[in-house]
Amino acid sequence: MDDYVSKTPTSRTLYNRAKVVLPAGVTYGIRYFEPYPFFVAKARGSKLWDVDGNEYIDFWLGHTALILGHSPREVVKAVQKQLENGTLYGVSHELEVTLAEQVAKMVPSAEMVRFTNSGTEANMYATRLARAFTGRNTIAKFEGGWHGGYDALHIGVKQPFDLPESAGLTRGALQDTILLPFNDLEGVEKRLRNEHPASIVVEPMLGAGGGIPAEKEFLRGLREFCDKSDILLIFDEVITGFRLAPGGGQEYYGVKPDITVLGKILGGGFPIGAFCGSRKIMKRLDITTYKRPHYSFHGGTFSGNPITMTAGLATLKILEDGKVTTRLNRLGDKIRTTIQQVFDKHGIDVQMVGAGSIFNTHFAKEPIRDAFAASRADKKKLFDYNMALMTNGVFFLPTHAQALSTAHSKADIEKLFNETEAFARHHNKS
C-alpha cells in the first residue's frame, strides 16, 4: 500500500477533488478501492497509463468489455469515419439493422434483437418482456447473480443474500423475485415447487459473483425444467456473450435460452446492451402487432446510436469466425493452470476459476461452485495479491474476475506469472 501511495501522488490529489463532486469520488461504486483508485490518463492495446505516468497491463479491460484491447485499430477507423456522418440520428438507419442481423447470425437463439444502452437496461426490458409474454408477475434469479442495478434483479447478489442490496428497493420488487441456488438443480426444483415465475434468469458463468461457471448438466437440466414448467429461460450473457464462443455461453454450453441479454463486447468499447430471442417472444415489442395492454415497451434516446452500432459491428466481424475465441480460451486455460501451479508450489490454498478467457482467483481450500463458497474465500489475501500486482504494473480491479484480450502479448502474460510468483514467495516469507 505504501508503494502504491508513493507512486500515485497525482491520483491522490485528483481523488481529493473527485470526492467533493462524485460520491465516493467515483462514477460506479465498484471502481473504488483503498486507499483511492488511480486515475487513467491514457489507454492503448493491453495497457493503461495513470496520471502519474505509471504503466499497467490491464486485465480488467473496462469491466471485461474490451476483448480487442483499448482502441483497436479496426474499430477506431470505423468510428472515426462514422463520426463525420452523424453521432445520433434518433430515427431508423441501416447500421442498426446490420448489427441486429449480425447478432442473429452469431447468437444461436436470436431471431430478433433490440438494442439498449447498458446491460442493466437490457435486463430490465427482458424481464418486462417475460412478464408480458407469460402474464405472470414473479421472476426468479440465482444467488450471486448480477444483472445490473434494476430493482427486480438487484436482489440476492452478495452475502448475506437476505439483506437488501440497496436502500430504496420497494417491497414489491423484493417480493416478486425468487432466489435460487446456483449449480443446484434439485434446489431449484424444490424452491419452485409451489411457484410459477415468468422467467428464470441465469448467467452461464457468475461474473460479479466470482467468475464461477455453470456446470453443463446444471444448465441442461435448467432448460429441461423450464420447458416442463412453462417458464422462460433467460441467459444473461452480458459477460459471456461473444466471449466464451462467437455465439456466447449458449454456443459454448450447447443450451439455448428463450431470451438472451447482451452488452459489453457487443458495443465495441461504447455503451450498449441488447436483448434478443425467438420471433414469437420478441413480437411482443412490435407496436404494429400488439396494442396496449399487450404490447411490451422498449425504447431509449441513444438506443441503436450509429457510433455504438459501428463499433459493435467492427468488433463482431473480427470475432465471427471463432479464431480469436479459440486462441483466447486456450490462453485462459493456461492462465488458470499456471497461477494455480504457482500457488500450489508455495503451499497457498487457491482455487482458480473461470471459463474461456475469464479467470478469477479465490484464496480457499474448498472447491468454488457457488457464491456461498466464493464469499467464504479470503478476500483480504485476494486484495493483497491484487494490490501487489497493481503496484508492480499489472492491473486487476481488486477482488473481481479478470479477462483477456487479443492485445495481451506473451510478455504481458509472463509478467503476470512472474508477479504472481513474487507475491507467493513474499507472502510465505512474511
Ligand X SMILES: Cc1ncc(COP(=O)(O)O)c(C=O)c1O
Q: What residues make contact with ligand X under the rule CB under 6 A? A: 63, 118-120, 123, 146-148, 203, 207-208, 236, 238-239, 263, 273
> Closest CB to ligand X among 48 and 265?
265
User: DSSP 3-state assignment of 353?
Assistant: strand
How many of the other CB atoms lie within 10 Å of CB of 150? Answer: 20
> Closest CB to ligand X among 54 and 305?
305
Q: Which residue lies nearest ligand X, judged by its C-beta?
A: 119
* Beta carbon of residue 70, minimum distance to ligand X (angstroms, whole number): 18
Which one, of 390, 337, 345, lies nearest residue 361 by Cα? Answer: 337
* Beta carbon of residue 42, minimum distance to ligand X (angstroms, whole number): 23
* Beta carbon of residue 194, minimum distance to ligand X (angstroms, whole number): 28
Report CA-CA distances (Å) from 77 to 81, 89, 303, 337: 6, 20, 22, 37
* Beta carbon of residue 64, minimum distance to ligand X (angstroms, whole number): 7
* Beta carbon of residue 321, minimum distance to ligand X (angstroms, whole number): 25
> Closest CB to ligand X among 165 and 189?
165
Annotate 166-180 with DSSP letters as a single string: STT--HHHHHHEEEE
Annotate 282-294 with DSSP letters as a single string: HGGG-TTT--TTT
> Closest CB to ligand X among 6 and 27?
27
Give phi and psi for 289, each to the nearest 5.
-110, -45
Report CA-CA distances (Å) from 368 to 111, 365, 383, 402: 35, 9, 18, 16
Find out whether 314 and 330 touch, Cβ atoms under 8 Å: no
Residues 6+ apart with CB under 8 A from 398: 33, 382, 383, 386, 387, 390
> Closest CB to ligand X among 207 and 304?
207
> Closest CB to ligand X among 63 and 136?
63
* Beta carbon of residue 342, minimum distance to ligand X (angstroms, whole number): 27
Annotate 210-221 with DSSP letters as a single string: TSEEPPHHHHHH
* Beta carbon of residue 12, minimum distance to ligand X (angstroms, whole number): 27
> Closest CB to ligand X among 240 and 391?
240
> Hey, which residues does 199 pair with through a beta bridge?
232
> Closest CB to ligand X among 28 and 297?
28
Identity of the residue numbered 31: R
Give the C-alpha separation, 206 to 203, whole Å.
Answer: 5
- β-bridge pairing 40-44 and 47-50: antiparallel
* Beta carbon of residue 57, minimum distance to ligand X (angstroms, whole number): 21
* Beta carbon of residue 160, minimum distance to ligand X (angstroms, whole number): 21
> Closest CB to ligand X among 243 and 369?
243
Give the C-alpha separation, 422 to 408, whole Å.
Answer: 21
